[in-house]
Amino acid sequence: MTNFRFIHKIRIYLYSMGKKKYRFNPDTLSYERIDVSLKERFSKLLAYLSSSLALALVIVVVFVNFYETPRSKMLKRENQRLLTQYELLQKDMGKIEDVLDEIQQRDDNIYRIIFESEPIPSTVRKAGFGGSNKYSELENMSNAELVIETSRKMDVISKQTYIQSKSYDEVLKLALDKEKMLASIPAIQPIANKDLKRTASGWGYRFHPIYKVRRFHYGMDFTATTGTPIYATGDGVVTEIGGSSRSRVGFGLEIIIDHGYGYETRYAHLSAFKAKRGQSVKRGDIIGFVGNTGGSTAPHLHYEVLKNGQAVDPSFFYYKDLSPEEYDRMIEISSNIGQTHD
């Protein structure tokens, strides 16, 4: 019974020591209570909270890096799907660019050549976007380089498509105007010459009959008696008549017709006129008569075709009244004559 009481007291004593701090004093051979200050208690509490916070932070970091939440998994899948869509869009735009380049080549090298229109300069087709950086708001996005490049390519394609649509509007207008253009382009001989006997000197270097030197002949001569009718070779408007200020020396009386589309024709050494300045004429209308005025050595017609102000070979423009065989015969005749009449 005594032992039981002793053990019970020891348990009570130990329990009381668990709540309070004690220190054994060897001098007195007894336990002395330790009084803990408020500051020490606060410091221990702060240390406990700090260690707990650090541990919690470590747990969060590990959780975030090694464990994905359902939402993070969903966002990751969505991001990957968008990335794939951008890559596929890049490939599709590459195909669109190839098709657009082909369309532009056809536009410049087929359609515009047919209608004799200047191609659109590459500086216009390929012009960039100036000014401030319009993609700055995309620079902070993930995969920013891919997103910006896709956006830029889309803008370029949009601009080129707009320019091409405007070009086709112009080509359509040219096509609708084709009938008028075909009627205006010089396409017949300026005098009646079905048997080709009136064909004289043609385009190229010839011996000048007056100056006795070899000079370039910028046109074609047709021999005919004075008073032979001269025909307009295409629809147009008479812009010059008489001794024109635009004439070269020795052309005498002449007529210049503006056919539009960059084409003009000149008829020189005339004896008389039938057309007047400002008059509209049709292909085949009589505009004047063969003569021997100016620096001419015999009655004949000097005929020129000009394109955008530059003389071109008139023999290229007789397709309306000559067969291929007749055309070849005319070229042969005009090439074998070594001297002009003016």
Tell me the per-residue pLDDT of 145-165, one tens digit each, with 9 for 90 and over: 777 788 888 888 888 888 888
Q: Are residues 47 and 143 in the same domain?
A: no
Q: Are residues 44 and 109 in the same domain?
A: no
Q: Are residues 60 and 88 in the same domain?
A: no
Residue 296 pLDDT > 90, yes or no?
no
| Total domains present in the chain | 3
Per-residue pLDDT band at 40 (split at 50, 70, 90):
confident
Whether 303 is covered by a domain: the verdict is yes
Nearest CA-CA partner of 202 in 2, 338, 19: 338
Whether 196 is covered by a domain: the verdict is no
> Rounded to an integer, what distance in angstroms lies between the CA atom of residue 82 and that of residue 89?
10
Q: Are residues 218 and 322 in the same domain?
A: yes
Q: Are residues 327 and 211 in the same domain?
A: yes
Q: Are residues 322 and 211 in the same domain?
A: yes
Find tokens 């008569």 and name the residue.
289
Average pLDDT over all residues of the chain: 79
Which comes out higher in pLDDT, residue 35 or 236? 236
pLDDT of amino acid 15: 46
Which comes out higher in pLDDT, residue 115 or 242? 242
For residue 53, give its domain range. 2-66
- Report the CATH number at residue 265: 2.70.70.10
Q: Are residues 62 and 100 in the same domain?
A: no
Q: CA 46, 49, 50, 51: dihedral to nearest 10 degrees?
A: 120
- Provide the pairing of β-strand 263-268 with 220-223: unpaired
Whether 74 is covered by a domain: the verdict is no
Q: Are residues 329 and 303 in the same domain?
A: yes
Q: Are residues 58 and 94 in the same domain?
A: no
Whether 188 is covered by a domain: the verdict is no
Q: Are residues 212 and 330 in the same domain?
A: yes
> Rounded to an integer, what distance in angstroms lies between the CA atom of residue 49 and that of residue 47?
5
